[in-house]
């Protein structure tokens, strides 16, 4: 597979300030220079003439955007669904609800699978976080948080802890104890601190780092043990609603989406915004990487889901229908990336053929909005969380 090109290609001392950091390899008057991101910005600002107004800058920005659109347009020699015509259609799916998880007293807002493929954690508007064995429907752990609207929860890679956060503007890590009688809430540890609600959280490849997105417009990377902020990511101009880490073992990037209708790809090492995509017409509620890491999908309140390829640096598919008028809240890919599951505010889950662009199935069952859905780690099942206070597992 082709390597992703991102800007921070090397790591070392900056040509300008000598600090060791991820470097941007850019050209200035045909001369290659290796500056750290801070020095690049300083240089960019210095290059401006005095008296340049906001209006003239905006004009310049608009011109560049048009030019960029033109350049990208030249590379759009064909549409994805046209190339996919030669691929066989997906066999008819017979997906049914296999489990219904009841126990939350209010809307279920988030869920995440454990790496063991059967356990999962869910969080609710009622302040409760529950860890389930999805297979047996057994509730294994329960934590009550002091705040309502726990909008984000995640399972640690080791399976020994969960992270959760929401309206309290924090994200906390709770170690899971084998001792059922132990009060888990007492062991809860605050890790992330934002200045507005926490909308999403994810552990990186280890239990030691936590990545969060927030209504304060930023994302942040935290060291779990010390609670230290390792890196913050600025660039969104409104609430960030979702994030997803690139699936690569060697990757250091993640994508975020928010109320500014933009999806941004970030370098975790430098905090730099590497790529940005703006084609949705309303809030982006969810972003998720395609399994190879070369592309990602997004779900939006404009009732569409879109597919972006990072190498082509543009949108390559839109999944929409006249009869789908409610916003899409969550998306995830099947293991091969052929199917895209999308949960909507009209209580349904639509299954799309990623390559051909058509809808292959619609799943009814929930009695209120879908807030989140996730395919299990081995791809055998799909779990959906809903405002109807339940979670459903489909296969």
Question: Based on CB atoms, which residue is closest to other proteins, 12 or 105?
Answer: 12
Task: Out of 14, 40, 174, 363, point to the residue binding other proteins (CB under 8 A).
Answer: 40
The contact pattern for other proteins, residues 179-208, with x = CB under 8 A and - = no contact, is -----------------xx-x----xxxxx
Return d(Cα 226, Cα 342) in angstroms, integer. Answer: 37
> Contact region for other proteins (CB under 8 A) — 138-146, 170-178, 179-187, 323-331?
323-331
> Contact region for other proteins (CB under 8 A) — 139-147, 172-180, 185-193, 373-381?
373-381
Task: Out of 190, 226, 232, 358, point to the residue binding other proteins (CB under 8 A).
Answer: 226
Cβ 320 to other proteins shortest distance, Å: 12
**Which of the residues 85 through 114 are near other proteins (CB under 8 A)?**
87, 90-91, 93, 95, 98-99
Task: Out of 165, 217, 343, 357, point to the residue binding other proteins (CB under 8 A).
Answer: 217
The CB-side HSE value for 175 (13 A sphere, CA atoms) comes to: 10
Question: Based on CB atoms, which residue is closest to other proteins, 78 or 178?
Answer: 78
Task: Out of 15, 17, 79, 138, point to the residue binding other proteins (CB under 8 A).
Answer: 79
Cβ 189 to other proteins shortest distance, Å: 13
| Interface with other proteins, residue 391, by CB under 8 A | no
Closest alpha carbon to 253 in 215, 207, 202, 329: 202
Question: Based on CB atoms, which residue is closest to other proteins, 184 or 221?
Answer: 221
Return d(Cα 380, Cα 89) in angstroms, integer. Answer: 20
Size of residue set near other proteins by CB under 8 A: 129
Closest alpha carbon to 36 in 23, 50, 17: 23
Cβ 40 to other proteins shortest distance, Å: 7
Question: Based on CB atoms, which residue is closest to other proteins, 193 or 312?
Answer: 312
Distance of CA 274 to the CA centre of its chain: 15
Task: Out of 31, 44, 146, 178, point to the residue binding other proteins (CB under 8 A).
Answer: 44
| Interface with other proteins, residue 223, by CB under 8 A | yes
| Interface with other proteins, residue 378, by CB under 8 A | yes
Task: Out of 147, 269, 279, 320, point to the residue binding other proteins (CB under 8 A).
Answer: 269
List residues bridging with 256 in a β-sheet: 243, 264
**Which of the residues 291 through 320 are near other proteins (CB under 8 A)?**
291-292, 294-295, 301-303, 309, 311-314, 316
Question: Based on CB atoms, which residue is closest to other proteins, 182 or 311?
Answer: 311
Cβ 182 to other proteins shortest distance, Å: 23
Task: Out of 30, 78, 92, 178, point to the residue binding other proteins (CB under 8 A).
Answer: 78
Task: Out of 16, 177, 248, 320, point to the residue binding other proteins (CB under 8 A).
Answer: 248
């Amino acid at each position: 597979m082709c390597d992703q090109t991102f800007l921070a290609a090397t790591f070392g001392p900056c040509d300008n300030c000598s600090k060791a950091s991820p470097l941007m390899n850019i050209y200035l008057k045909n001369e290659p220079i290796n500056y750290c991101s801070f020095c690049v910005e300083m240089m960019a600002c210095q290059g401006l003439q005095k008296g340049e107004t906001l209006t003239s800058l905006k004009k310049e920005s608009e011109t560049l955007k048009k030019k960029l659109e033109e350049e990208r347009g030249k590379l759009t020699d064909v549409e994805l669904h046209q190339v996919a015509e030669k691929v066989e259609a997906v066999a008819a799916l017979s997906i049914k609800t296999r489990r219904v998880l009841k126990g939350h007293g209010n809307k279920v807002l988030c869920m995440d699978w454990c790496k063991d493929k059967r356990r999962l954690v869910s969080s609710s508007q009622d302040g409760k976080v529950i860890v389930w064995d999805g297979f047996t429907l057994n509730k294994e752990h329960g934590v009550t948080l002091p705040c309502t609207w726990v909008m984000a929860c995640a399972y640690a890679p080791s399976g020994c802890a969960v992270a959760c956060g929401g309206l309290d503007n924090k994200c906390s890590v709770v170690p899971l104890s084998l001792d059922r009688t132990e009060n888990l809430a007492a062991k809860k540890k605050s890790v992330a601190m934002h200045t507005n609600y926490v909308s999403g959280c994810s552990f990186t490849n280890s239990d030691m780092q936590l990545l969060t997105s927030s209504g304060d417009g930023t994302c942040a990377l935290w060291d779990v043990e010390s609670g230290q902020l390792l890196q913050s990511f600025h660039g969104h101009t409104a609430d960030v609603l979702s994030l997803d880490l690139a699936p690569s073992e060697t990757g250091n990037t993640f994508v975020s989406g928010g109320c500014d209708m933009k999806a941004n790809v970030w370098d975790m090492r430098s905090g730099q915004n590497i790529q940005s995509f703006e084609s949705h017409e309303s809030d982006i509620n969810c972003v998720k990487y395609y399994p190879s890491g070369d592309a990602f999908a997004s779900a939006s309140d404009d009732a569409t889901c879109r597919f972006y390829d990072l190498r082509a640096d543009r949108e390559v598919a839109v999944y929409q229908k006249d009869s789908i008028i409610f916003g899409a809240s969550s998306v995830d890919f099947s293991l091969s990336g052929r199917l895209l599951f999308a949960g909507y505010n009209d209580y349904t889950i639509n299954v799309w053929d990623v390559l051909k662009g058509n809808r292959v199935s619609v799943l009814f069952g929930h009695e209120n909005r879908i807030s989140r859905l996730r395919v299990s780690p081995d791809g055998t099942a799909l779990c959906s969380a809903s405002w109807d206070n339940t979670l459903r597992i489909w296969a």
